[in-house]
Structure 1
């Protein structure tokens, strides 16, 4: 029997018992607490009984907005990201304020950063962008039926707003000009939505 004739392995179920994989917290310590992130260093017990250290960032969570213009183009941003020392091409995004819901945050960030407001919104899903060292969860929101007004950037925030087609974004990703992971996930979700494979449940704002 050739390798191609072997039956495909079943996909793992995220809800299968996982006691043999889990790590249990023994002690948790804050190493640094900043304006909106916190660095923690924990001591954990591994599944085999040994102990290990885990260092990670506690993040409040964020949203990303795939905002669709009437001509099919997408609202995009160019923003300098200091940690990587590059100006990045991204979908609009921002962190959740304390007690703020995902939709309210998405509406606020889109308006503040780009000046656009949307009449229709849909939550596509969530992503964990950096599971190895941060708690961050990003909600993926779609925005449609846009109207443009004046933007209201935060103090010390500088970014360009422009529009692009999905095809242009894909070309930039292929060529290494677009490398932001949340934007790449948004592009995938948009492609599935436009193909009719992943429908969205729209709500009026």
Structure 2
């Protein structure tokens, strides 16, 4: 798992060019020196990073949302998540996204870890948070944002993962990373 400069697997950047510069995504094409001395091209997406929040209600249900995802042309069941704004602290982003998308604020927050969802073509990282002590204050959706907020018991979320009803990688990863904290709060 080394990423030190003397790692024998390191590919060194020889040149880099921007291929696309969008509102969210930025695509680059780099020419690299391979470990064996050869050269190759690497195309990848630069992403500002995101957060995902596993939020536990007092009744033991988890807060999820159904949201249409255009690239796959269908609605997905997932945990609240969103892009980190430039200069924004990850906890502030998690708090903002939970409040905006679901209308909940949380008294207790724990950073669970990080995941890298698309390591073959993107530098995106998703910071995982667990929130409890929820209080509903009303959502504040962004313009053009449409979603359904719902609550599901922990066992139902796990079943939805195993039956393919939840296929979103960030939600699956976040659930399993947060599961020990969920059980600790619920006393299981």
Residue 160 of structure 1 is matched in structure 2 by 148
TM-score (norm 1): 0.86
CA RMSD of aligned residues (A): 1.4
Deviation at 1:170, TM superposition (A): 1.6
Give matches, 1:184-195, under 5 Å: 184-194=172-182
Residue 167 of structure 2 is matched in structure 1 by 179
The one of 74, 85, 91 aligned to 2:79? 91
Q: How many residues align?
A: 183
TM-score (norm 2): 0.93
The one of 64, 76, 86 aligned to 2:52? 64
Residue 114 of structure 1 is matched in structure 2 by 102
How far apart, in 1, do the equivalents of 2:3 and 2:27 lie?
30
1:106 alignment partner, SS class: helix
The one of 67, 70, 87 aligned to 1:82? 70
Q: Do the aligned partners of 1:19 and 1:47 also contact (CA within 8 Å) in 2?
A: no
Higher strand proportion: 2
How far apart, in 2, do the equivalents of 1:47 and 1:101 lie?
36
Deviation at 1:195, TM superposition (A): 5.1
How far apart, in 1, do the equivalents of 2:147 and 2:124 lie?
23
After superposing the two structures, state which structure 1 stretch, 62-71 or 14-23, moved more.
14-23
User: 5+ residue gaps in structure 2?
Assistant: none
1:110 alignment partner, SS class: helix
Structure 1 residues 16 and 22: alpha-carbon distance in aligned structure 2, compared to 1, 3 A threshold: closer
Deviations 1:12-71 (A, max 9, x none): xx2486622110000010000000210111100100011101010000000000111001
Residue 14 of structure 2 is matched in structure 1 by 26
* Larger radius of gyration between Structure 1 and Structure 2: 1
The one of 55, 61, 83 aligned to 2:43? 55
Q: Do the aligned partners of 1:166 and 1:187 also contact (CA within 8 Å) in 2?
A: no
